[in-house]
Amino acid sequence: TYVQLGQARTFKRAIRGLVKCVAEQYAPGSALRVQVGHSHNPGGAAMLREQLERLFECTWLPVVALSPVLGAHTGPSMVGVAYAPQAAFADIP
């Protein structure tokens, strides 16, 4: 399931909005497992990854290409983030 956070006037604002969404749930420096996804936007995904890395202790942070089918719902150049506290994965190295 995906949830659209909203529409921002600029791509940089959209990235800040995604990071803010994570920061509203987890304090800066929290240990998180994070996955960044994109649809034909590796540069945008790298920008999002960099900002998340600066704010959190990301113990797992791959960037993956998502199905272009999502573009029908999100538009071109989509980026997104999935995240959970590292503690939820205590049994995974």
Q: What is the mean pLDDT of residues 1-20?
A: 85
Parent domain of 40: 29-89
Of 52, 57, 40, nearest in space to 81 by CA: 52
Say what the pLDDT of residue 91 is.
Answer: 83
pLDDT for 77 equals 85
pLDDT at 1: 61
Per the domain annotation, does 54 fall within a domain?
yes
- Stated pTM of the model: 0.88
User: Has residue 13 been placed in a domain?
Assistant: no
Q: 34: domain CATH number?
A: 3.30.1180.10
- 42 in a structural domain: yes
51 by DSSP, 3-state: which?
A: helix
With contact defined as beta carbons under 8 Å apart, do 38 and 66 qualify? yes
Instruction: Give residue-wise pLDDT tens across range 42-68.
Output: 999 999 999 999 999 999 999 999 887
Q: Are 76 and 10 a contacting pair, CB within 8 Å?
A: no
